Amino acid sequence: MSLTGLFPIDKWNFKSQSILTNLPDDEYERLHAHMLEQHYQKGESIFREGAVASGIFFIKKGKVKKYKVDKEGKEQIIYVANTGELLGYHAVLAEERYTDSAAALEACAITFIPREDFLNVVEQSQVLPRRLLKALSHEFAVLSNSISVFAQRSVKERLAIILIVLREKFKAETVAGSEITINISRADLANMVGTGSENIVRFLKEFRMAGILHTQGRKIFITDVKRLIGLSGYSNALP
């Protein structure tokens, strides 16, 4: 089921997939000159907050969580990146260290592009700077929206929103006609919503009893996305 006209999913997703699409051949070749593909298992770290930004990462397959860790060591997941998205380019462009951490949510294939190669192409390209500016502007709008909405919404509403967003992310790699499977731990879900795992378990049970979803182990299947949207309260929180 499409969310068009029901939920503004673009306000919750970055658009970095198009940054490297259909670049001129010479730019593409320079980017790929020293590109290295690496494979990560679920939970494996890709980069950590404060580390030197040595390059950018392109997700060929899989999903990656971007997160920060507070003084008590608790994770706050700020975004889930999907196949085709870029990671780490903000820090490289700003000549700063990585401002957050990234780890695989599932088995991933990720290519690494060294900082020097990326910046050389950016400096000479007629296309890439405009795409990067557009992507950065949109990402700022997404994060601003997330902060403002989450500051006003209840835990139940935040969970509904996160489940809607995750449904779209897992839908992207679901075979047509198959049921969309949200495969995520309760701990990671709690870190996305900004609450304890016990609240996630309680509200998932409530949603299950209401017929909005069903579960199988850690897997979540949304059966009534319209009712989930109704519980999200987004119409009162978003313009």
User: In 105-171, which ranges are E strands?
Assistant: 108-114
Pick the CATH number of 9-147 from 3.30.160.100, 2.60.120.380, 2.60.120.10, 3.30.43.10: 2.60.120.10
How confident is residue 239, by pLDDT bands cut at 50, 70 and 90? very low
The pLDDT-based confidence of 2 (bands split at 50, 70, 90) is low
As a whole number of angstroms, the longest Cα–Cα distance in the chain is 57
What is the arithmetic mean of pLDDT over 166-186?
Answer: 87
Question: Looking at the predicted structure, is the pLDDT value of residue 123 above 90?
Answer: yes
Fold of 154-237: Arc Repressor Mutant, subunit A (1.10.10)
Residue 181 to residue 157: CA distance in whole angstroms: 21
